[in-house]
A and B are shown apart, each in its own frame.
Chain A
């Protein structure tokens, strides 16, 4: 064994190791470069874009700093193609174009247009949706018991659709056998009966597909003697299956995951709140609603004026619904969410912000405190800034009357 041989062999070995190091470093180097980014930028005294990201709904959760982009799955601010403006939808009731028939019955005319739309169902995540009037859920239709309801349905979508209303009506108005082809239209006509809380949805097969893609909305029939005045709101519990694997990826109340967590619903202390709560959630067997620090009177399907239950949690299967009545005794923020925690964590959460006698002090305190990480400006006109793309909605729905709540 000569010396030169040893040298040769060790040369071979070192070259292998050198290659190995080079490869490892090449694959690792970009990471290191990224890690050093912040420092080098600081050294050059250029502006360092560093964002704090919180891993939850507020202070107390872990935070990280990043020089890159933020994947914010919770806050839907600064988005443009949202499925809906949840704050507008919450208290928006469409009463239709009102006229009176010869025999004195109130006639309510509505126009609903089915259309395909690519919507942002959760921050940064888009879905090819099917909609009634461009939003998910579709507009809330409201009539009084005994009224004649006329709905002109135009299908501008790419697939045949129908509108199936819950309630009592004739077979040909049931939206099952009259299939409306793309480009076609149909007028549904029926008497609003009985009073209660209903829903409407497309009844084309595959039903699962037509519902999970967004074709549903709320239909309210008021009793002839109105319920007591209250701050009224609609809440539709739904979900989105973006990857079409038969499981929901996101759960929401009123169309956008976590929206009301960052845009709390402002209510007044001691004022009667009435929630029209509907569950249209596809794929999952059940869904539920839980109210924090309070209990509510529950009117199942809203078909009676006597409450069935005094509770803080109510569980629905798909298509079930009910009216909730409550008022808050103490001011402050209170959560409401699905007590199925998986759904809550995938977006079905919200906040009521109870104000003391219209005072803004609590709101301000709340904004400065817990909301510091996600600082949405809590004021009444926060939401109007986001509604500019929703203009088309008003031209499609023919409002004879539109009101904010029933008080």
Chain B
């Protein structure tokens, strides 16, 4: 009976809780109705300035297509379009009337010249003109087999092959002394920190150039980066825990000793063995996380390449490809470093799978970037990549410090600091090879 009463109490209190939680919301909606309702003029202060954002410009056969969005506070009527400040009759789909955040496609018949800069202008009914420039006009890629295989080949060159080349360092790293190994491990961390920062800077650039203030681009970057970091941290911890539990099971089975699988209750005879197993499980997880993180990063790189082709921002030179190749080779190194000293069995097959996880997203990125470029999608991917990379760096450093009795001292040792610094420096140096 007592139990039932308790339950009843809990039930009523729950109802109460819901009502209490809803009261402020009801008051708030009442206030919104009051402010926005008919006849209210309190909010009509000042003149709302219109804003049109030109998100993308495509050069097609004998026409220029601009993708625009009304990012101002109110609806607008688009009146005219111009190329290089010379008005030209154009079509606008679906309609010239754009409500807030609505988008439209403006099609201007125009014989453009490849490689020449152009400015597209949009004038709205009150005479305000918004414009966007393209550095060099280039025919927009159309999604066909030829173009898709072209992007695939570029993706393989700049993404897949370099990472696989980097994996060839595995035997070398495996044979290094512990100090030198630490150097290379922290070098990996340095490389990754650079890539993470690079991704954030890149996405910030996209926000500034292509995304209207209405979308709060910078906050979006920070939010996605942090969320990715936390989600991956949680997932990888779970992953390692599971692996450990399994290995614990194996140990207990083989030793025919029963003990709790809880990590807190460790027994002295098993500790060494268990640690060994843990050491094997964790580097693999880290390597896999690195591969995924780099994969996302390379996805962003692919997007950048595809979008650059689409937007006519860069001429894809062999220099660009060589630059990316050198730059990305270091990513392979980053993947193999944590596994090298684990002592576990590392098959070539596993290595190749990781290399492909890291490399293939470049191709997918190039397809999406080239055929369906969207600045919002681009910054989301880059931010996810950044979050993933920072999580990996966190895993590496915490793993390195967990193996010693004095974590602080270990982190500040000469090989660690030197490796980290050299890692960043290598990335910076190779990034100079990529024309931007």
Contact = CB atoms under 8 A, between A and B. Distances in A.
A243 interface: yes
A61 to B, nearest CB: 7
B88 interface: yes
A178 B292 CA distance: 79
Contacts of A342: 86
B91 A345 contact: no
B377 interface: yes
A46 to B, nearest CB: 15
B399 interface: no
Interface string B119-138: 00001011111000000000
Is chain B's interface secondary structure helix, strand, loop, or mixed overall?
Answer: mixed
A89 to B, nearest CB: 22
Given A71-B80, A73-B88, A126-B125, A55 B93 contact: no
A21 B368 contact: yes
B243 A2 contact: yes
A362 to B, nearest CB: 26
B96 interface: yes
A301 to B, nearest CB: 33
B91 A64 contact: yes
B341 to A, nearest CB: 15
B109 A53 contact: yes
A31 B357 CA distance: 31
Interface in B234-262: 235, 239, 242-243, 246
Contacts of B288: 5-6, 9
A5 B374 contact: no
Nearest to A13: B292
B287 to A, nearest CB: 9
A31 B67 contact: yes
The interface centre, meaning the residue of B94, B110, B281 with most chain A CB atoms within 10 A of its CB, is B94
Interface stretch (B24-32, B98-106, B319-327, B402-410): B98-106
Interface residues of B, number: 67
A293 interface: no
A51 interface: yes
Contacts of B62: 62
Contacts of A34: 93-94, 105
B10 interface: no
Given A5-B239, A17-B364, A249 B377 contact: no
Interface stretch (A117-125, A153-161, A306-314, A350-358): A117-125
B126 A55 contact: no
Contact of A70 (B77, B91, B284, B295): B91
B89 A72 contact: yes
Contact of A1 (B86, B107, B344): B344
A17 B302 CA distance: 13
B91 A71 contact: yes
Contact of B384 (A9, A10, A16, A51): A16
Contacts of B97: 69
A32 B57 CA distance: 16
Nearest to B106: A71
Given A2-B243, A2-B246, A73-B82, A68 B88 contact: no
A204 B85 CA distance: 31
B299 A20 contact: yes
Interface in B6-56: none
A198 B423 CA distance: 77
Interface in B314-373: 344, 350, 353, 357, 361, 364, 368, 371-372
Contacts of A365: none
A5 B247 CA distance: 13
Interface in B264-303: 280-281, 284-285, 288-289, 292, 295-296, 299
B91 A249 contact: no
Contacts of B106: 71
Nearest to B127: A242
Given A20-B368, A124-B79, A67 B93 contact: yes
A386 interface: no
A20 B380 CA distance: 8
Contacts of A24: 368, 372, 374, 377
B129 A68 contact: no
A123 B82 CA distance: 13
B396 interface: no
A27 B371 CA distance: 12
A226 B136 CA distance: 60
Q: Which 3 residue pairs of A and B lie closest in terms of their CB atoms, listed nearest first?
A: A242-B127, A66-B91, A124-B79
Interface of A: 1-2, 4-6, 8-10, 12-13, 16-17, 20-21, 23-25, 27-28, 30-31, 34, 37, 51, 53-56, 61-75, 121-127, 240, 242-243, 249, 257, 342, 345-347
Given A121-B127, A243-B128, A347-B87, 11 more contacts: A9-B285, A31-B67, A69-B95, A70-B89, A72-B89, A73-B87, A75-B89, A126-B126, A127-B126, A242-B129, A345-B87
Interface of B: 62-63, 67, 77-82, 85-97, 103-111, 123, 125-129, 235, 239, 242-243, 246, 280-281, 284-285, 288-289, 292, 295-296, 299, 344, 350, 353, 357, 361, 364, 368, 371-372, 374, 376-377, 380-381, 384
